[in-house]
Amino acid sequence: MTPASSSPNEPRTTAELVAVALTETDEEIAWDAVRSLHWRGGPEVLELAMQLTRSTSNRERRLGADILGQLGSPKRTDPEQCKSVLRKMLTFDENAEVLRAILVALSHQNDIDAIPLVVGFSTHPDSEVRHGTVLALSIHNGHEVPQAIETLIKLSNDSCEHVRDWATFALGTLIEIDTKQIRDALADRLTDPDFDTRGEALVGLAQRKDMRVIAALKRELESDCIGCLTIEAAEMIASSELYLPLVDLRGWWDIDINLLERAIEVSNFES
């Protein structure tokens, strides 16, 4: 049953916001309703979200997970209960769209305890579920969990470029620790056919001062398509071998001139 609409001067009820999120075809408007539920938070929204997670409708369960992921933002509503419900969902739901929503929600909840469950989805046949797995493993304060790092390394070699890109970003930038396994995984992506994945690998290796990045940077700087990540990595590694290739960009590369000049400056050991 569709709830009665509030008057124009009254805020929408929780039930009305849920109805909008479920029925609105414009994704941005639907997400505005979800964000309103996040901000509203409280026991009423929590209870309604939990009811949605028990629905036979895939769309309703997905919405329940979306709400629980950031419920009460920025002051979270009963995060332990939200995490518990999401973990339980992960053990029985089979719909790919719902699973991805659960995994993304767990990433927002920074749920380290969910990692043993999450890693099992790294081989899921749906690439969006595997992408959600990357996000759920790339959580604050959870980067040094060996099981998470091992799984991210495997996902950095995924068949889907979107998954490889995010897993490489997680390994290279989100994780601060420096191990041979992480550096080798990043080095393996230096020749990745995906432009963004290569860029994340460059930055990750440059941050760790791994000299294997220099030859890869030379190759990228001589190409016709150069992104900001390449220049950022060149600035980080600060090698004189990159000075001339960087100077050659002055005539045409104008995405971020200040970034380019900083990279040139730190690479010019003669100045």
Q: How far is CA 235 from CA 50, 54, 146, 198, 221, in A?
A: 48, 51, 30, 16, 13
pLDDT band at 140 (very low <50, low <70, confident <90, very high): low
Checking if the pLDDT of 10 tops 80, the result is no
pLDDT band at 2 (very low <50, low <70, confident <90, very high): very low
Whether the CB-CB separation of 58 and 95 falls below 8 Å is answered with: yes
User: What are the structure tokens assigned to 263, written together?
Assistant: 């990279």
Checking if the pLDDT of 73 tops 90, the result is no
Report the pLDDT averaged over residues 94-108: 97
Taking the C-alpha atoms of residue 252 and residue 45, their distance in angstroms, rounded to an integer, is 53
Q: Which domains does the chain have, with CATH numbers?
A: 1-108 (1.25.10.10), 163-271 (1.25.10.10)
pLDDT of residue 42: 96
pTM of the model as a whole = 0.92
Higher-confidence residue of 270 and 100: namely: 100
Checking if the pLDDT of 243 tops 90, the result is yes
